[in-house]
Structure 1
Amino acid sequence: MDPDVLNMFVIAGGTLAIPILAFVASFLLWPSALIRIYYWYWRRALGMQVRYAYYDDYQFCYSYRGRPGYRPSVLMLHGFSAHKDMWLSIVKFLPKNLHLVCVDMPGHEGTTRSSLDDLSISGQTKRIHQFVECIKLNRRPFHLVGTSMGGNVAGVYAAQYPEEISSLTLICPAGLQTSTETNFIKQLKESEHIDRIPLIPSTPEEMADMLKLCSYVRFKVPQQILQGLVDVRIPHNDFYRKLFLEIVDEKSRHSLHENLSKIKAPLQVIWGKQDQVLDVSGADVLAKAIPDCHVYILENCGHTVVVERPRKTAKLILEFLALLHSTENNKKQA
């Protein structure tokens, strides 16, 4: 073979080998870095841009897509120990011309974490209102979406700032009083140490247990990825523990329930029937408390509705917004 041709194959082979080796090294040695790259890639692919907003010396980190238009903007609040990128699985199925905003909740990811911050549901609600004012999202009423802890905050926000909310979607929200104990509640009661909180894993085995607790679908997650997920979380576990104790404290535990009578916006509720963290009977509590509440119970789905059923969840949200838009138009024509 011609030496020049041979050299060309060697160079080509080396060029291909470098990214492959880099990927394998990341997977084996730095799985947490691979996870960050994964989120960065999907933000770029879906057109989500990351920005920062400031309220005095407090920093909010958020991602957004689209611009405000004739349809209400959509603000999405994630759950405990998650971050703004958890919504990417749903963003994938939402139209690109819909104005979306996903914010890191207080103390999470790129949003300021302060030992002086009020992490109660009331305190978090005030912070989110500051964020909304910073980016002037409340120039027009917007649609608010919240899941789990974020659902608790979203419901209280709708109660405290009713003029800013055009409609509300709560996905298996926390903060309700129900009579049924879930596996999560039972595990908490059986635990002798407050350090052992099922939602705050510190080993790959505990991470696997948390995934089983939160989802009905059994994801086959490689050990290295489990390790990566743990590595990403461990530096924040002390904060998560402090936050958890705040939101289960008497001051916050039933915040949503205590504010139900003040919610005036049209409400949509989405809940996984097999939720082992927050019992699905909470949907009945909301339906009985709020007139014309639209309830959707998803079969074969756990607490992580956003991850397990993203296409269905996006479809339900869009149908709800379309229904409200149609109803509003009919009222104007009447």
Structure 2
Amino acid sequence: MTRIQKSMSLGNLFSYAGTISIHYQTVGQGPLPILFLHGFASSSTTWQDMAGLFPAGEFTLFLLDLKGFGLSSKPKDAAYSIEDQAEIIRAFILDRGLRSLAIVGHSLGGAVALRVCIEAGKGESPFTIEKLVLIDSAAYPQRLPKFFRKLKSPLGPLYLLLMPVRMLVQGALERVFFDKAQITSERFERYIRYFRGKGVSYALRATVQAVDPEAYVHVEESYRRLKLPVLIIWGAEDRNVRLSLGQRLQGDLSDSRLRILEKCGHNPHEERPEETFSAIISFLRES
């Protein structure tokens, strides 16, 4: 049994709006809570290479499956936007009674985390985001990756129906990972299981349809008003969200620093978990 299997609970469900179940797992029993938000076409299992490295007596990690992903509900509605996801996260934080916490967000989860921080920074929030970690985060309008464009097209449902799952996953992982040796059989099969889950195809399509790149235009100015400390981690070889966008984000966030991992792709926490963990824990321990 691995460290992560030993330290993680079997999972819990948070009920949102009476109809949506949000699945989450906890790691550790420490006094400092950290909420982890995964990226698109992923789930809370994306953190399993890194989560077990956090000292259990120092931190409590909440690894959450966003609506439509992992073991969370995948209702056939249209409420899959960044704002919709952020509202669920705010409700989760309140339900857990977290008055002060840090958030780690990857890709789509980073965009959701930014939106939560923007709302919390308006002065009337019952909780405080003390620190934010953004990993290869979505934050600006950009040309969508090819996979997104295919899902967004009218032929998206047919594409998902006809494309063999193993071929789909292989192509996605080869784009995400710079070091192809990290595409292990265990990781490959984990993503296969995810893509074969009930309701996944609809949730992927609904998310792509709801996440409008132009929506970022309306929040860019808000980045400059955020006052909390931010650590930005970026894989230098990210093909989905280019490093130039991470550098731009550092310029827009007044209290931020950028850690670039050379020869690393879109998922540093999976491809280089120990380096990513080291950067995060050093940042969180700073007074």
Which of 276, 285, 302 is the aligned partner of 2:248? Answer: 285
Alpha-carbon distance between aligned partners in 2 of 1:158 and 1:51, rounded to the nearest angstrom: 24
Q: Deviations over 1:206-242 (max 9, x none)?
A: 3211111111011375889857743541341222112
Q: Hey, what does 2:124 align to over in structure 1?
A: none
2:21 aligned residue? 59
Contact 1:42 1:88 in 2 (8 A): no
Distance in 2, matches of 1:258 and 1:91, equals 33
Match of 2:37 among 63, 77, 89: 77
Q: Which has the higher helix share?
A: 1
Structure 1 runs not aligned, ≥5 long:
1-37, 326-334
In structure 1, the partner of 2:168 is 206
Identity of aligned residues (%): 21
Q: Give distance in 1, aligned partners of 2:117 and 2:276.
A: 20
User: Structure 1 residues 267-276 or 116-125, which shifts more?
Assistant: 116-125
Q: Which residue of 2 aligns with 1:86?
A: 46
Q: Which residue of 1 aligns with 2:131?
A: 167
Residue in 1 that maps onto 2:206: 242
Cα contact 2:235–2:268 (8 A) shared by 1 = yes
Question: 2:235 is matched with which residue?
Answer: 272
- May I ask how many residue pairs the two structures share in their alignment? 275
1:282 maps to a residue whose letter is L
- 1:25 paired residue number: none
Q: 1:157 aligns with which of 105, 109, 116?
A: 116
Give 1:114's match in structure 2, choosing from 75, 80, 104: 75
**Number of the residue aligned with 2:97:** 136
Distance 1:201 1:161, change over 3 A: farther
Q: What RMSD in Å do the two structures reach over aligned CA positions?
A: 3.1
Consecutive unaligned residues of structure 2, counting only runs of 5 or more, are 122-126
In terms of Rg, which structure is larger? 1
The SS at the match of 1:281 is helix
- 1:169-318 alignment runs, 5 A limit: 169-177=133-141, 184=145, 188=149, 194-195=155-156, 202-219=164-181, 226=188, 229-230=191-192, 232-234=194-196, 235=198, 236-248=200-212, 250-251=214-215, 253-254=216-217, 257-318=220-281
Relative distance call for 1:221 and 1:273 in structure 2 (3 A) is closer
How far 1:259 sits from its partner (Å)?
3.1
Q: Structure 2 length normalisation: TM-score?
A: 0.84
How far the C-alpha of 1:90 sits from its partner, in A, is 1.0
Greater strand share, structure number? 2
Evaluate the alpha carbon distance shift between residue 224 and residue 78 of structure 1 in structure 2; reply closer, same or farther with a 3 A threshold: closer
- In 1: Cα distance, 2:55 partner to 2:273 partner: 14
